[in-house]
Amino acid sequence: MPTSADYSFEIAATAHSDVEEVLFSAADIAMRVAQLGAAITRDYAALDADELTVVGVANGALIFTADLLRRINLRTRFDTVRVSSYLDGTSPSAAPQFRSTVHLNLAGRHVLIVDDILDTGRTLSQLHSALLEHRPASLRTCVLLDKKSRRQTPFEAAYTGFDIPDAFVVGYGMDFAERYRNLPFVGVLRADRQVAGD
Protein backbone atom coordinates (compact mmCIF):
# COMPACT_ATOMS: atom_id res chain seq x y z
CA MET A 1 0.00 0.00 0.00
CA PRO A 2 1.44 3.43 -0.88
CA THR A 3 1.57 5.95 1.96
CA SER A 4 0.92 9.67 1.70
CA ALA A 5 4.71 10.29 1.76
CA ASP A 6 4.97 8.52 -1.59
CA TYR A 7 2.95 11.36 -3.09
CA SER A 8 5.31 14.09 -1.88
CA PHE A 9 6.22 16.59 -4.58
CA GLU A 10 9.83 16.29 -3.46
CA ILE A 11 9.88 12.72 -4.68
CA ALA A 12 7.77 13.38 -7.75
CA ALA A 13 9.90 16.21 -9.15
CA THR A 14 13.01 17.88 -7.76
CA ALA A 15 14.42 19.30 -10.98
CA HIS A 16 13.72 19.77 -14.64
CA SER A 17 16.33 19.86 -17.39
CA ASP A 18 15.24 23.37 -18.53
CA VAL A 19 15.76 24.82 -15.04
CA GLU A 20 19.28 25.89 -14.13
CA GLU A 21 18.71 26.39 -10.42
CA VAL A 22 15.90 25.59 -8.00
CA LEU A 23 15.40 28.66 -5.78
CA PHE A 24 12.58 27.32 -3.60
CA SER A 25 11.57 23.68 -3.25
CA ALA A 26 7.98 22.55 -2.85
CA ALA A 27 8.65 22.16 0.88
CA ASP A 28 10.17 25.68 1.15
CA ILE A 29 7.10 27.10 -0.57
CA ALA A 30 4.63 25.13 1.54
CA MET A 31 6.25 26.39 4.72
CA ARG A 32 6.26 30.03 3.61
CA VAL A 33 2.68 29.87 2.30
CA ALA A 34 1.53 28.50 5.66
CA GLN A 35 3.31 31.39 7.41
CA LEU A 36 1.72 33.96 5.10
CA GLY A 37 -1.72 32.43 5.65
CA ALA A 38 -1.23 32.57 9.41
CA ALA A 39 -0.13 36.22 9.26
CA ILE A 40 -3.10 37.17 7.06
CA THR A 41 -5.50 35.31 9.33
CA ARG A 42 -4.11 37.03 12.41
CA ASP A 43 -4.07 40.52 10.88
CA TYR A 44 -7.62 40.45 9.51
CA ALA A 45 -8.97 38.84 12.68
CA ALA A 46 -7.38 41.76 14.56
CA LEU A 47 -9.17 44.18 12.23
CA ASP A 48 -12.44 42.43 13.11
CA ALA A 49 -12.94 41.73 9.40
CA ASP A 50 -15.89 39.36 9.20
CA GLU A 51 -14.92 38.27 5.69
CA LEU A 52 -11.97 38.60 3.33
CA THR A 53 -12.34 38.94 -0.44
CA VAL A 54 -9.34 37.42 -2.19
CA VAL A 55 -8.66 38.52 -5.77
CA GLY A 56 -6.13 36.27 -7.51
CA VAL A 57 -4.26 37.52 -10.57
CA ALA A 58 -4.56 34.85 -13.29
CA ASN A 59 -2.84 32.94 -14.66
CA GLY A 60 0.45 33.19 -12.78
CA ALA A 61 -0.92 33.40 -9.24
CA LEU A 62 -3.47 30.59 -9.51
CA ILE A 63 -1.44 27.85 -7.84
CA PHE A 64 -0.12 30.17 -5.12
CA THR A 65 -3.64 31.48 -4.51
CA ALA A 66 -5.09 27.98 -4.32
CA ASP A 67 -2.58 27.00 -1.64
CA LEU A 68 -2.75 30.30 0.25
CA LEU A 69 -6.56 30.27 0.41
CA ARG A 70 -6.44 26.95 2.26
CA ARG A 71 -4.10 28.50 4.85
CA ILE A 72 -6.40 31.46 5.57
CA ASN A 73 -8.66 30.66 8.47
CA LEU A 74 -11.34 33.31 7.87
CA ARG A 75 -14.55 33.48 5.87
CA THR A 76 -13.47 34.26 2.32
CA ARG A 77 -14.89 35.11 -1.06
CA PHE A 78 -12.74 34.49 -4.13
CA ASP A 79 -12.52 36.07 -7.57
CA THR A 80 -9.85 36.46 -10.24
CA VAL A 81 -8.72 39.10 -12.68
CA ARG A 82 -6.73 38.26 -15.78
CA VAL A 83 -3.73 40.40 -16.56
CA SER A 84 -1.01 39.73 -19.06
CA SER A 85 2.20 41.63 -19.22
CA TYR A 86 4.59 39.22 -20.91
CA LEU A 87 3.05 38.01 -24.14
CA ASP A 88 5.60 35.43 -25.17
CA GLY A 89 8.89 36.57 -23.77
CA THR A 90 10.73 37.36 -20.59
CA SER A 91 10.48 41.18 -20.66
CA PRO A 92 7.25 42.86 -19.70
CA SER A 93 5.37 44.74 -22.41
CA ALA A 94 5.07 48.45 -21.69
CA ALA A 95 1.57 48.33 -20.27
CA PRO A 96 -0.09 45.40 -18.52
CA GLN A 97 -3.24 44.31 -20.33
CA PHE A 98 -6.30 43.83 -18.13
CA ARG A 99 -8.28 41.08 -19.82
CA SER A 100 -11.05 40.71 -17.28
CA THR A 101 -12.37 42.51 -14.25
CA VAL A 102 -13.76 41.43 -10.88
CA HIS A 103 -17.32 40.17 -10.70
CA LEU A 104 -17.78 40.44 -6.94
CA ASN A 105 -18.94 43.62 -5.28
CA LEU A 106 -15.92 45.04 -3.45
CA ALA A 107 -17.54 48.12 -1.94
CA GLY A 108 -17.03 48.21 1.82
CA ARG A 109 -15.18 44.85 1.77
CA HIS A 110 -11.73 43.88 2.96
CA VAL A 111 -9.91 42.94 -0.23
CA LEU A 112 -6.59 41.12 -0.66
CA ILE A 113 -4.95 40.98 -4.10
CA VAL A 114 -2.76 37.89 -4.57
CA ASP A 115 -0.11 37.83 -7.29
CA ASP A 116 2.92 35.73 -8.16
CA ILE A 117 5.68 38.31 -8.66
CA LEU A 118 6.17 41.98 -7.97
CA ASP A 119 8.64 43.05 -10.65
CA THR A 120 8.56 46.54 -12.22
CA GLY A 121 5.48 47.25 -10.09
CA ARG A 122 3.35 48.34 -13.03
CA THR A 123 0.78 45.56 -12.86
CA LEU A 124 0.06 45.82 -9.17
CA SER A 125 0.07 49.60 -8.99
CA GLN A 126 -2.45 49.76 -11.83
CA LEU A 127 -4.60 46.95 -10.44
CA HIS A 128 -4.48 48.53 -6.98
CA SER A 129 -5.70 51.88 -8.36
CA ALA A 130 -8.41 50.16 -10.41
CA LEU A 131 -9.73 48.20 -7.40
CA LEU A 132 -9.64 51.29 -5.15
CA GLU A 133 -12.32 52.76 -7.40
CA HIS A 134 -14.66 50.07 -6.03
CA ARG A 135 -14.28 51.70 -2.60
CA PRO A 136 -13.20 48.64 -0.56
CA ALA A 137 -12.97 48.95 3.24
CA SER A 138 -9.31 47.97 2.89
CA LEU A 139 -7.05 46.87 0.05
CA ARG A 140 -3.78 45.02 0.52
CA THR A 141 -1.54 42.89 -1.66
CA CYS A 142 0.21 39.56 -1.11
CA VAL A 143 2.91 38.34 -3.50
CA LEU A 144 4.92 35.15 -3.47
CA LEU A 145 8.06 36.77 -4.91
CA ASP A 146 9.48 40.29 -4.97
CA LYS A 147 12.25 41.42 -7.35
CA LYS A 148 12.90 44.70 -5.54
CA SER A 149 15.86 45.68 -7.73
CA ARG A 150 13.61 45.82 -10.81
CA ARG A 151 11.05 48.32 -9.52
CA GLN A 152 10.15 51.18 -11.89
CA THR A 153 6.83 52.18 -10.30
CA PRO A 154 6.88 52.49 -6.51
CA PHE A 155 4.80 49.73 -4.96
CA GLU A 156 5.18 47.58 -1.86
CA ALA A 157 3.16 44.50 -0.96
CA ALA A 158 1.80 44.10 2.57
CA TYR A 159 2.77 40.40 2.49
CA THR A 160 5.76 38.92 0.60
CA GLY A 161 6.86 35.29 0.47
CA PHE A 162 10.46 35.68 -0.70
CA ASP A 163 12.70 38.44 -2.08
CA ILE A 164 14.58 37.27 -5.18
CA PRO A 165 17.33 38.71 -7.38
CA ASP A 166 16.75 39.75 -11.00
CA ALA A 167 16.33 36.38 -12.74
CA PHE A 168 13.53 34.94 -14.85
CA VAL A 169 11.78 32.26 -12.82
CA VAL A 170 9.23 29.60 -13.65
CA GLY A 171 7.21 26.98 -11.79
CA TYR A 172 4.54 26.96 -9.08
CA GLY A 173 2.14 28.65 -11.51
CA MET A 174 4.68 30.87 -13.27
CA ASP A 175 5.32 30.36 -16.96
CA PHE A 176 7.45 31.04 -19.94
CA ALA A 177 5.14 31.11 -23.00
CA GLU A 178 2.50 29.21 -20.93
CA ARG A 179 4.93 26.39 -20.12
CA TYR A 180 6.37 25.15 -16.78
CA ARG A 181 3.41 26.25 -14.66
CA ASN A 182 3.07 22.71 -13.31
CA LEU A 183 6.56 22.51 -11.74
CA PRO A 184 6.02 22.21 -7.97
CA PHE A 185 9.12 24.33 -7.21
CA VAL A 186 10.33 27.81 -8.29
CA GLY A 187 13.46 27.79 -10.43
CA VAL A 188 15.50 29.94 -12.79
CA LEU A 189 14.84 29.10 -16.43
CA ARG A 190 17.98 28.30 -18.46
CA ALA A 191 18.84 31.20 -20.78
CA ASP A 192 18.89 28.90 -23.81
CA ARG A 193 15.26 27.94 -23.08
CA GLN A 194 14.09 31.59 -23.03
CA VAL A 195 13.34 31.61 -26.73
CA ALA A 196 9.88 32.18 -28.12
CA GLY A 197 8.27 29.09 -29.60
CA ASP A 198 4.65 28.23 -30.29
The binding site for Mg ion (CB under 5 A) comprises 60
Residues that contact ligand 5GP, how many (by CB under 6 A): 21
Chain residues 65-124 in contact with ligand 5GP, contact rule CB under 6 A = 85-86, 92, 96, 115-124
Identified catalytic residue from 67, 115, 116, 119: 119
Sheet with 186-189, side-by-side order of all strands: 19-24, 186-189, 169-170
Prior bond of 59 cis (ω within 30°): yes
Q: Which stretch binds ligand 5GP (CB under 6 A): 4-12, 25-33, 65-73, 165-173?
A: 165-173
Contact (CB, 8 A) for 171 and 119: no
CA–CA distance from 15 to each of 20, 97, 166, 185 (Å)?
Answer: 9, 32, 21, 8
Q: How far is the CB of 80 from Mg ion (least distance, A)?
A: 11
Nearer to Mg ion, 43 or 78 (CB): 78
Residue 122 near which of Mg ion, ligand 5GP, none (CB within 5-8 Å, type-dependent):
ligand 5GP
110, 49 contact by CB (below 8 A): yes
Backbone angles phi and psi of 16, in degrees to 5 = -150, 140
C-beta of 79 vs 175, nearer to ligand 5GP:
175
Is residue 50 flagged as an active site residue?
Answer: no
Residue 170 contact, options Mg ion, ligand 5GP, none, Cβ 5-8 Å cut-off depending on partner type? ligand 5GP
172 binds ligand 5GP (CB under 6 A): no
* Closest C-alpha among 131, 138, 112, 127 to residue 55: 112
Task: Choose which of 168, 184, 185, 193 interacts with ligand 5GP (CB under 6 A).
Answer: 168
Q: Are 110 and 44 in contact (CB under 8 A)?
A: yes
For position 44 contacting ligand 5GP by CB under 6 A, the verdict is no
| Residues identified as active-site | 119
